[in-house]
A and B are shown apart, each in its own frame.
Chain A
C-alpha cells in the first residue's frame, strides 16, 4: 500500500508532541543494544569533536580581532645609532612624534622592558647594557591614525637612525590566516553536524529495518504511523541528546585541561574558551537532538510510507 503519512501523523511527531513523552509507547521499541550504543557513541564522538571545532573557531576569531585591533593601533620606532647618540636621537624622535598628527602617545621603552622582550629568546642572564641594542619607541595612534609616509620623511630628516614599523606588513597575513582558520573551524562544525545526521540516519534506518516485525505487529493491531514513528524518533532523539551531553562534558574537560595562555604570550591566545563563549558548547546537545530528531523522522516517514 503506497499511502503517504497524513498531515496529522506528521504534526503528531512534531518536537512538542515528542517532548510530552509516553512511557508506555516507548516500550514497544525493543531495547536494541547495538544500535543504541552506536548512536550514543556517534553522538558523543561528534560532539567531542564539535567542542574543539567550536573552540578553534572562537579562539581564532578572538585572535584575528586581537591582532587587527591592538596591533593596528600601535607601531614601533626603532632607533639604531652609536651608543653616545642614542639618547639624543630618541629625544629628537619623541619630539617629532609629539608634533605629529594622529599620534596619541609615544613612549621610549625602558631598558627593563627591552630586556623583557628579549628574554624569551636569549634567557634572563643577558647583559643587555653591554650590547648595542636599538632603542624602541612605542607609538599609539589615535582614532584617525597618522600618515606613515609623511612621518617617515620627517624622521629621515631629523633622526637618521630611526626606522618606523607600522606592523602592517606582517599583521595582514596573520589576520588573514586567523580568519581562514576560523572559516575552516566553522566548516568543520557543519561537516560534523552533517556526519552526525548521516550516522544517525543510518542507525535509525537499520533499527527500523531490524524492527520490521515490530512495525508489522503494531500495524496489525491498529497502531497509527504517528505512534510508531514517535516511539522510534523519541528513542533516537534522547539517545543523541545524552550521547552529545557526554561528548560535550568530555570535550569541556579536555579544554579545561589545556595549558592556559601565558601572559607573556601577549597577543597570542589559548585554544580555550573565554567568558560567555562557555555557553556555546551547551548548545551542542540540543542541536544534536534536533539533528537526530529530523534525521530519524525523515527515515521513519520514508519507511512507514512504503509499508503495508
Chain B
C-alpha cells in the first residue's frame, strides 16, 4: 500500500533522508523512532504525499507520488488517516463536527453516518465532549479527537506523529490501546515516537516492528528494545 524505493529527501541545506526503501504491508504495526530532527515527521509526510521525494520513488496505493495531481493526493488522504503531534482542528466547529469533517469534505452524507460517528466518539471516550469546541479540550482529548477524525473514513493506513507527545502516561496508554485495537481490525499502523517506554509497552500487546532513522538511513531496530 505504501512503497518507498531508494527514496531520498533533501531540503535546501542538505540531504535529510537518503536511500530509504520500505514496503508497508496491510495489517502491519510499525514504530518509527530516532532522535529529534532525524526526519521522522518528514518521513511520514513522504508517506502521505505531503512531500515529494527529491530522489527515488514513493508509490502510494499503486500511484507514483510524482505523477499525482493535487486531487489525487486529496483522494489518497481519505485512505490514509494522519494524526499530528500538534493536531489542528477547525476551531469554530464542535468536536463532533471536526471528527465528521473528512466525511463532509469527501461529499458523504454526515447525517447518514450519524450512528457510526456516535459510536466512534464513544469508542474514543469523547461522548461528554462532543459538543465542545476544540480549544476547550485537554491535550489527551485533542489527541483522541484527532485519532477519531483520522479513522472515521475507515482508512487502510494510520500514520501517527508523536501521538503521545503532549499527554501523560496513562493517556498515552489509552491512545496506544486504541491504535492497537485498530491494528487488530486490520489497519496498518505506523507511529513515530521517541518514547521508548511506549514502544516497550506496545510490544507485549502487538507484534510491532521498530524502524529507526539514524544517519539519514532507515534501519530495522533489533530486539534490544
The CA-CA distance from A27 to B149 in the complex, in Å, is 17
Are A24 and B110 in contact, with the CB atoms below 8 A?
yes
A-contact 0/1 string along B86-109, CB 8 Å cutoff: 001111110001000110111100
B-contact 0/1 string along A203-235, CB 8 Å cutoff: 000000000011011111111111100000000
Are B91 and A30 in contact, with the CB atoms below 8 A?
yes
CB distance from A247 to the nearest CB of B (A): 28
Is B52 located at the chain interface by the 8 A CB criterion? yes
Tell me which of A25, A217, A221, A224 contacts B70 (CB under 8 A): A224
Are A28 and B90 in contact, with the CB atoms below 8 A?
yes
- Nearest residue, chain A, Cβ from B91: A30
The CA-CA distance from A128 to B153 in the complex, in Å, is 95
A-contact 0/1 string along B111-153, CB 8 Å cutoff: 0000000000000000000000000000000000000010001
Is A1 located at the chain interface by the 8 A CB criterion? yes
Is A308 located at the chain interface by the 8 A CB criterion? yes
Of B11-19, B74-82, B194-202, B217-225, which binds chain A?
B74-82
Is B51 located at the chain interface by the 8 A CB criterion? yes
- Known A-B contacts A30-B91, A219-B74; the reply to A308 vs B101 at CB < 8 A is no
Are B70 and A1 in contact, with the CB atoms below 8 A?
yes
The CA-CA distance from A102 to B57 in the complex, in Å, is 91
- Tell which of B78, B82, B104, B105 has the most Cβ of chain A within 10 Å: B105
Are B105 and A27 in contact, with the CB atoms below 8 A?
no
Are B71 and A221 in contact, with the CB atoms below 8 A?
no
- Nearest residue, chain B, Cβ from A25: B104
Are B104 and A6 in contact, with the CB atoms below 8 A?
no
Q: Within residues 43 to 63 of chain B, which ones have a CB less than 8 A from any CB in chain A? A: 50-52
Q: Within residues 29 to 55 of chain A, which ones have a CB less than 8 A from any CB in chain B? A: 30-31
CB distance from B213 to the nearest CB of A (A): 21
Are A223 and B74 in contact, with the CB atoms below 8 A?
yes
Are B50 and A1 in contact, with the CB atoms below 8 A?
yes
Give the total of A residues in contact with B, Cβ under 8 Å: 29
Contacts of A169 in B (CB 8 A): none
- Known A-B contacts A222-B75, A223-B74; the reply to A6 vs B90 at CB < 8 A is no
- Tell which of B51, B84, B90, B101 has the most Cβ of chain A within 10 Å: B90
Is B69 located at the chain interface by the 8 A CB criterion? yes
Contacts of A27 in B (CB 8 A): 93, 97
Q: Bin the interface of chain B by size.
A: 20 to 34
Is A9 located at the chain interface by the 8 A CB criterion? yes
Contacts of B69 in A (CB 8 A): 3, 6
CB distance from A301 to the nearest CB of B (A): 11
Contacts of B78 in A (CB 8 A): 222
- Nearest residue, chain A, Cβ from B75: A222
Are B50 and A308 in contact, with the CB atoms below 8 A?
yes
Are B106 and A6 in contact, with the CB atoms below 8 A?
no
Are A308 and B51 in contact, with the CB atoms below 8 A?
yes
CB distance from A203 to the nearest CB of B (A): 19
Contacts of B84 in A (CB 8 A): 220
The CA-CA distance from A224 to B70 in the complex, in Å, is 7
- Known A-B contacts A6-B69, A8-B71, A24-B104; the reply to A221 vs B92 at CB < 8 A is no
Are A3 and B110 in contact, with the CB atoms below 8 A?
no
Tell me which of A4, A5, A6, A220 contacts B82 (CB under 8 A): A220
The 7 closest A-B pairs by CB, nearest first: A223-B105, A222-B77, A222-B78, A221-B102, A30-B92, A224-B74, A3-B70
- 17 pairs, CB–CB < 8 Å, chain A vs chain B: A3-B69, A24-B104, A25-B105, A28-B101, A30-B91, A216-B88, A218-B101, A222-B74, A222-B77, A222-B105, A223-B74, A224-B70, A224-B71, A224-B105, A225-B70, A226-B71, A308-B50
**Taking beta carbons and an 8 Å cutoff, which residues of A are in contact with B?**
1, 3-6, 8-9, 24-25, 27-28, 30-31, 213-214, 216-227, 304, 308
